[in-house]
Amino acid sequence: GILDYDEEWIGHVSESNNNQKSPTSSGKINTDHPLSKLLPATPDDKFIDSRCMKHKRIPHLLRDLEYIFETSGTAVKLLKSWRTPSSVQPASSGLEAMNESITPSPSFSLQNGPTNSLATYNTPTAIDFSAVWARFLRLGQGIDLQKRKVSGGHVEYENDRWLGAYGMSLNLSGTGDALSESPFSNVTFNADEQSVEAFLESAKHANREAMGNLFAAFFREIKMWLYREGLQDSGALPNSEPGESEALQRSTLHVSVSQLDESSVNQISAATGVSVAESCDVACEVGVKILPESKLALLEAALLYERSKLSSIGYCSHGVVMGDWLKVPHSPLAGDGFSFHLPLHRALARSIRCYCSAVVPTQERVQSPDRWWRLPLLDDDDDFASSDVSVSGFIFKQDNLSALVRPTHKSANLRVMWSSGPDCSPPEAQLRRSRSRMMSNLLASTKVIHSLCDHPLRCIAAAQQIDHHMWARNGSSLGGMALNYGSVPLCRSLRDLDLTMVQLSACGFNVGLGSRRVFGLLTNRFSMDGYLCDPDRRVPGNSYVRPGWVKPPRMQDPEHAELLAESFFTTVCIIVSDLPPPPPSSLNDDSVLRHSLRRELLHALAVEPRSHSEAMAAASTAVSRRDESDSGTVGIDGGSSFRAVFTEVLQSIAQQRNQGSRASSGPPLFELKPDSSNEYDPSFYHLRRTEHQHAMDNIARLRKQKLAILSKGTNSDMVLPLVSEPPVCHPRFLPSRLLLHLPPMYAAIRRYLMYALFDGSWLPPPAPEPVKPADTDAIGADAMLTVSFPGSNTSMTARREAYHRATSSMSNVSSISSSAIADTPSFSPAVVAASSKSFLEVLHILTLQVHTLEECSNLQNTLPFLDHEQKTLSSRITINTYLSQLIEVPNSLVNVWALLCAPDGPLPSKGSGENRGSVLGLLIALYEHRDHGNDDGGRQKSANDDHGGARTLSADGLKWLLRFVNALVDGAESVDAARRSATTGIRIKATTKSITMTSINNETRDRIKAMLSNLPELWPGERDNASDLGSGVSEKSREARKAAQARALAEMKKKQASFAASISSQFNDDSEKKMSDDDEENLCIICKCDDDDGDNGPMGYLGHVQRSRVLQLASKSTHALHSE
């Protein structure tokens, strides 16, 4: 019925074809039955302006489909693949018989079958519904292409066609959600609990088959979209501006024989009789047009090399094939086009999330620990790594995805130029076709796997750029697109599903790129190549190359690099934190719903207090459409509904706010309890940046109250980590957290910590250099320069004429002339203390590394099916390697002046000051000179002193992290013990039974202990000792200071009383004077409001407005004149 619904739309699509002889050019489809022919592919998105879209005819069709899918059992019957005569149909199970009484199975080819109200068609060649639905989604794939204006003025005219594109995407998403959720809905059959448990196994197999067919249809359609098939054959590709269309699918294949072993190359060369080419660099946007046989042999040798490695590893998934060879250049920031509309990718993501939410009994998890969490078709076993050998000497067995896209193979996808010419015998021709088709399918499957992560990631990166006003020339309409893309509630159907696809790809297995490749793709799509990596030095090879630092790529605005880096780290935090939850263990299990509601509601209340209805609206973002309704029950016995679960969660994390004397007539408000403040996530993706700023101010206050309660009024030094442990996730998505422990991640963290330490410089500042002797005579030999470092007894004394400023870190031109003299070094502790660059996102990554350390190190044991690269990465994660990564200093940062400890460098340290170019060394430098400087009189004013909740959380999180590392090297029994020690402030006492004492290298332990020794205020009880050692202040001097403070406070109170009395003398009536006679010391002298509970104070409110004394006397004189 989809094709017959709107002939005008189909007519527009057909008339766009250049081939006028097409049977569909008239707009009428009479020769083929609608059930036996797919929709034609669209060459452009002009159908957005058609009548069927403007008059909402397509949305009405999609609403009708939603109602059909809502009927119990209908979606499963449509998606199951048995459309065969009754003689070969499988026997109906008990569950299918039950659902058959509700919804008869649609019959498309049975002429003499049983009476069925839906058996209205006699079409032997009927297409499966999954293929029809995937083709329909393809019509909205990649529409409304956007390109950033990199030059010229602002856009002069903004059209609103993007609203139509968004409307179509949301309508397709709503119908697709109904199709995906229907097989796994809680109310899919009318039966008692015993009957449901009896048929649960049958339902699982039926749903698995239905989802497998849907996954296959999505993969095939994505492949045809990437190759633009259906357009080239019909001549429907537009002739104008082909670059815009090709930018979405552009890809290049790069293989070199140096990457392979000699055995694989010799084996392929002997089997084919062709010498293997040295390299293969071909563009393959829509297919490899001409590929010489020597390059085909090189690709086959590379495949043989990959297979030989897999066969030696044992049981595991094979990962993406040719993943390191396929390159897809794309940069929206540089002007490449992208589209916010990816209905095929998002429908696949929604289907995967729905399948992962299906009930999995505990017994099944115990019996099949390695299989219950797998996805149908995508995680099936294959024999790709088998070592079978054919008569010709080699044979390659295709993986599941290559076999899946094989029916879509066309000769245009790969054309080979055979070295022996086109003429050949029939057996040789068959072998040629087999080799060509095998390589074409393998290349197509690799492009599909790359697309699963790449295209959603382009939308995420572009939306972040638009939010930071980097697309200002494109006008405000693009800002509206990004706002709807990343804000609730529409983000549930757009951005959230894109994140799911990136998470799926980061997990690896058979259909994912793996954490290493996803990290590289993230760096590239956020334009961070050359920024979030260790800096390199230029090696002078000739007189034209000056030694120095290699500058990062230049951006249009220098601030863009910082904003993109923050977005990069925030996106990584979201990817590893907000993963799909684990499935429930029974139909009555509502733990997943409770956890989702709790996380969503907690962050909504962290921003501001909300009423009951506002809180429910915010929490509804975390649940599906069925759970939102009161009738959607969690259990088959009518268990807790969404409203009941919400009420329980609200009472557990929130309390009704006391309105006090300022209570209004509005509804009561609920605010977050201090006990739940530790669960706040600074990167929670359903809050905007401005909302997070308000939330961090509130969370800092609530955490302070919580610690005061836990310490029971004592002066305890308990601190909380910046972020708590990430939520428990589905085992299928757990390997995506390996992103946190990649070696390139440590390099990115190290580079951004240097950026924060150097106050916004991506390269280390230069060291002061001695001037030429000729310049010293003009200044005088007796001039001396003394440089003292605040917070330390260390000083540098040198002749004033001995130093001048060196060249700038970002330029080869000297910043000061040769005759100029620098009074102080260009980089000093004062620069660090005054730095306003935040490293909150990096500290978030480091804290998540701590929380996931044990979890990621056991992945190779808990998930044996994990691909070999992810297994290798997991096996290398230990406490010793974690600490070694923290203190690793790259070769380019060894003996850099800015990273040396005083007196050799600019920054002193209470510890050893070693390895300052490492992650831990940079954290210690920021701790000492910015976030937790000395409390003596010589302390520099820090930028942390004048900031709100963000800096407070960052300072406490940094102290917690340093305590954790210190507890590990002190001999904590486990990672959990070290985390408890960091929170409570109770130091670890080493024992012989400690696990970390034996697993940590002695040299690493001693190095870290020296770096962390004597840090001020790191542990309770060390504050006074550190202050006395550092500043030489005695107990007598400290008491004298306290007495001086008490005298100053008494003098201020005396002046305050005098000022209040002077104001009281100006009042006319007794009622005003009565207000000034209040002798309570805790009342504000202006507004007379107490602030004991923190709610009634004048902060943030306009309390009382009072005239000054001059205006008051002037008013009296004016009144007297009028009276006369």
For 218, half-sphere exposure in the C-beta direction (CA atoms, 13 angstrom radius) is: 25
Q: Evaluate if residue 245 carries a pLDDT over 70.
A: no
The bridge status of strand 288-292 relative to strand 414-417 is: parallel
pLDDT of 1098: 52
Per-residue pLDDT band at 538 (split at 50, 70, 90): confident
pLDDT of 87: 37
Over residues 36-51, mean pLDDT: 70
For 118, half-sphere exposure in the C-beta direction (CA atoms, 13 angstrom radius) is: 13
Q: Evaluate if residue 36 carries a pLDDT over 90.
A: no
- How large is the greatest C-alpha to C-alpha distance in the chain, in angstroms? 126
Q: Evaluate if residue 878 carries a pLDDT over 50.
A: yes
Q: Evaluate if residue 822 carries a pLDDT over 90.
A: no
The amino acid sitting at 141 is Q
Report which DSSP code applies to 92: P
Per-residue pLDDT band at 85 (split at 50, 70, 90): very low
CB atoms within 10 A of CB 73: 23
pLDDT in tens, 828-844: 888 898 888 999 999 99
Tokens, residue 423: 């003429």
pLDDT in tens, 1036-1047: 566 777 777 777
Cα separation, 188 vs 354, in Å, equals 14
Cα angle, residue 607 at apex, residues 601 and 610 outer, rounded to 5° = 60
pLDDT of 243: 47
Tokens, residue 38: 């797919």
Which of 525, 526, 687, 530 has the alpha carbon at shortest distance from 602? Answer: 687
Tokens, residue 836: 């306003």
Q: Which of the residue ranges 377-386, 633-642, 973-982 has the most confident prediction, judged by mean pLDDT?
A: 973-982
pLDDT of 220: 92
CB 52 within 8 A of CB 6: yes
pLDDT of 115: 41
Q: Which of the residue ranges 11-20, 778-787, 908-917 has the most confident prediction, judged by mean pLDDT?
A: 908-917
Over residues 900-920, mean pLDDT: 91
Tokens, residue 1064: 């009281």
Q: Which of the residue ranges 16-25, 623-632, 976-985 has the most confident prediction, judged by mean pLDDT?
A: 976-985
| pLDDT-above-90 percentage for the chain | 33
Report which DSSP code applies to 765: P
Which of 149, 348, 338 has the alpha carbon at shortest distance from 249? Answer: 338
Cα separation, 940 vs 933, in Å, equals 8
Tokens, residue 981: 């020690």
Lowest mean pLDDT among 308-322, 393-407, 854-868, 1087-1101: 1087-1101
Over residues 334-347, mean pLDDT: 91
Q: In Å, what is the CA distance from 762 to each residue of 270, 579, 825, 888, 899?
A: 52, 33, 18, 19, 14
Report which DSSP code applies to 623: S
Q: Give Cβ neighbours of residue 879 (< 8 Å, ≥ 6 apart).
A: 853, 968, 975, 995, 996, 999, 1000
Strands, E assignment, 476-562: 537-538, 548-549
For 1001, half-sphere exposure in the C-beta direction (CA atoms, 13 angstrom radius) is: 12
Residue 554, burial from CB neighbour count under 10 angstroms (0-12, 13-18, 19+): exposed
For 960, half-sphere exposure in the C-beta direction (CA atoms, 13 angstrom radius) is: 24
Question: Per residue in 978-1000, is it b (16+ CB within 10 Å) or e — as a string?
Answer: bbebbbbbebbeeeeebebbeeb
Cα separation, 1013 vs 286, in Å, equals 61
Which of 267, 277, 292 has the alpha carbon at shortest distance from 420? Answer: 292
pTM of the model: 0.82
Which of 975 and 808 is assigned the larger pLDDT? 975
| pLDDT-above-70 percentage for the chain | 70
Which of 592, 210, 197 has the alpha carbon at shortest distance from 361? Answer: 197
pLDDT of 14: 44
pLDDT of 495: 95
pLDDT in tens, 256-266: 888 888 888 88
pLDDT in tens, 106-143: 444 434 444 434 444 455 556 788 888 998 898 889 88
Per-residue pLDDT band at 882 (split at 50, 70, 90): very high
Cα separation, 651 vs 670, in Å, equals 9
Cα separation, 364 vs 133, in Å, equals 33
Cα separation, 692 vs 675, in Å, equals 19
Q: Evaluate if residue 950 carries a pLDDT over 80.
A: yes
Over residues 335-353, mean pLDDT: 93
Q: Give Cβ neighbours of residue 867 (< 8 Å, ≥ 6 apart).
A: 316, 317, 318, 319, 508, 509, 510, 514
Per-residue pLDDT band at 227 (split at 50, 70, 90): confident
pLDDT of 374: 92
pLDDT of 581: 93
Q: In Å, what is the CA distance from 1046 to each residue of 979, 1053, 1081?
A: 39, 11, 16
In three-state secondary structure terms, 1013 is coil
Lowest mean pLDDT among 620-624, 770-774, 823-827, 1052-1056: 770-774
Tokens, residue 878: 């230990």
List 907's β-bridge partners, or say none. 901
For 64, half-sphere exposure in the C-beta direction (CA atoms, 13 angstrom radius) is: 9
Tokens, residue 405: 């896209």
Residues present in the chain in total: 1124
CB atoms within 10 A of CB 664: 7
What angle, rounded to 10 degrees, do the helices at 840-851 and 558-577 form? 20
CB 973 within 8 A of CB 862: no
pLDDT of 697: 93
DSSP string, 542-591: STT---EEPPPPP-SSHHHHHHHHHHHHHHHHHHHHSPPPPPPSSTT--H
Cα separation, 52 vs 425, in Å, equals 55
Lowest mean pLDDT among 375-384, 483-492, 1037-1046, 1085-1094: 1085-1094
Q: How much is the mean pLDDT over the chain?
A: 77
Tokens, residue 30: 């009479």
Q: Give Cβ neighbours of residue 19 (< 8 Å, ≥ 6 apart).
A: 25, 234, 235, 236
CB 816 within 8 A of CB 822: yes
CB 1083 within 8 A of CB 1076: no
The residue behind tokens 């305050």 is 1056
What is the SS3 assignment for 187-228? CCCCCCHHHHHHCHHHHHHHHHHHHHHHHHHHHHHHHHHHCC
Q: Give Cβ neighbours of residue 238 (< 8 Å, ≥ 6 apart).
A: 43, 44, 245
CB 458 within 8 A of CB 330: yes
CB 170 within 8 A of CB 484: no
Cα separation, 298 vs 419, in Å, equals 14
First to last CA, the chain: 93
Cα separation, 1024 vs 1019, in Å, equals 11
pLDDT of 783: 42
Q: Write out the H or E segment, with its range, that includes residue 414.
A: strand 414-417
